[in-house]
Amino acid sequence: MKNHFLFFLIVANFSVVAQNKCFEFVKNKIISNIEKYDSKKILPYYSEESKLWGYFDLTTGNKVVEPVLKKYKFFSPYIYLDFESDFESKNLNFENCRLRLYVIEEKFKIELPDTVLAEVAFNFSNNEIKKVKEIDGFEVDKQNNLISYNKKFYDNKKSDTRLSDFFKINNINYALATMDDHFTIVDQSGKIIKELKSKVSQPEFLYRDENEAFFVTEDKENNYKIQSIFGNTNSSKVSFNEILDLQLIKALGFSIVTIKGKMGVYDFVKFEWVIEPTNKFKIESLEYSSNIDVYDGDIVKTKEKILLNRKESDLYIVTEKNKIFDLKLNQIRPRNL
C-alpha cells in the first residue's frame, strides 16, 4: 500500500519595499565598490576596530568595501547574505531579507527569493523490490542510476538496495555493496573486487581517475584512512583523527585534517601535506575563491574534474585569530591594514 504524506512549503514573505531596501543596501555598500574587479580576487579582511569584515582587491591591495559583515565570505562564485545574521542588526531594520550575490558574464547580479506558497506531495512508497531481477550483478544507466540487480543486493530489513556509489573504470561498472557486517566493492557481474575495512561508518567515495577509485574508511579507533580499490596508485598510508570536509575533497581535493591534536591541510590527489600538522595556530576553515561553481556537474567526481577546478580556484585558510593565509602560509591582507 502506498503511503502519501502532504507537506506545505512556506517561504517567508516580505514586501516589495523590503526587497528594494535589501537590494539597494547591497548595491550601495558592496556591488558599487567591487563591480570593476575580478570577483575571484576580491577577498575578505578583518577590522580589529569594528570587529567586522570588509573586502579588498588582492591585485592592488586596496580596500574596496568597508567592514560591514559579521562573518567572512568568499566569492565561490556566490556569496549568500542573510541580513539578520550577517549584518549588524542594530544599524538595519530588514526582516526576512536573504539574497544571493554572484557573478555572471563578468557582472555582479543579485537574486532575491520569490514569495512561494507551494503544496508538495511526497510519495514514500518503496519501489526498490521491483528492480530485483534474475541477473548475477547489477545494471545502471548512463547517469549511474540503478536499473536492476540480483536479490542478494536487496536488504529486506530496510526494504532498500545494498548498492551505492556507482562508478565506471575501463568500461566496467562498479559499486559499493553494504552487506550485513562488511563493505565490499563489486563489479557489474556481481564479482567481489575488494573488501573495504571500515569498522564504524560506511566508506565514503571520494573520486576516481582512469584506473583507480578512492574511498575513506574508518577503523574502530575512529581513525580515517584512504583506500584505493585496485592498487594501481600509491595512495596515502597516513591515518587521520578527523577529516573535516569530505565534500571539498570531491570538488578540489583538499581538506583540513587533524592528527594527535594538531591541524593541517592534506592534498588527497597528490597524497601529500600542503600544511604540515601544527598546534602553533588553529585553522578555523579552509576556503576558496573561484569564478566557477566547483560543485556543479556530476555527483561522482573525477581526478580530471578536480584538477580543472583547481586551475579556476584559489585556496586560503582562516585562523581562529581572523587572519587569512594562502596555502604557502603567506598572510593575505590589504596594504594598509
C-alpha radius of gyration, the chain, whole number: 24
Placement of cell 540480483 in the chain = 150
Task: Put residue 51 in one of left, alpha, beta given phi > 0 → left and psi -120 to 50 → alpha.
Answer: left
Q: Where are the domains of the chain?
A: 8-118, 128-196, 198-337
Minimal CA–CA distance to 50: which of 35, 39, 62, 65? 65
Model confidence at 166: pLDDT above 80: yes
> Which residues have a Cβ under 8 Å from the Cβ of 70 and sit 6 or more positions away?
52, 53, 85, 86, 87, 88
Q: What would the pLDDT profile of 251-296 be if each residue is shown by its tens digit?
A: 999 999 999 999 999 999 999 999 999 999 999 999 999 999 998 7
pLDDT band at 98 (very low <50, low <70, confident <90, very high): confident
Q: What percent of the chain has pLDDT over 70?
A: 85
Beta-carbon neighbour count of residue 229 at 10 Å? 22
Q: What would the pLDDT profile of 167-205 be if each residue is shown by its tens digit?
A: 999 999 999 999 988 899 999 999 999 999 887 788 999
Tell me the whole-structure pTM to 2 decimals.
0.85
Q: What would the pLDDT profile of 199-218 be if each residue is shown by its tens digit?
A: 778 899 999 999 999 999 99
Q: What would the pLDDT profile of 5-30 be if each residue is shown by its tens digit?
A: 232 223 334 455 666 788 888 888 89
Top-confidence residue, 177 or 130: 177
- Determine the straight-line distance between the first and last CA of the chain, rounded to whole angstroms: 66
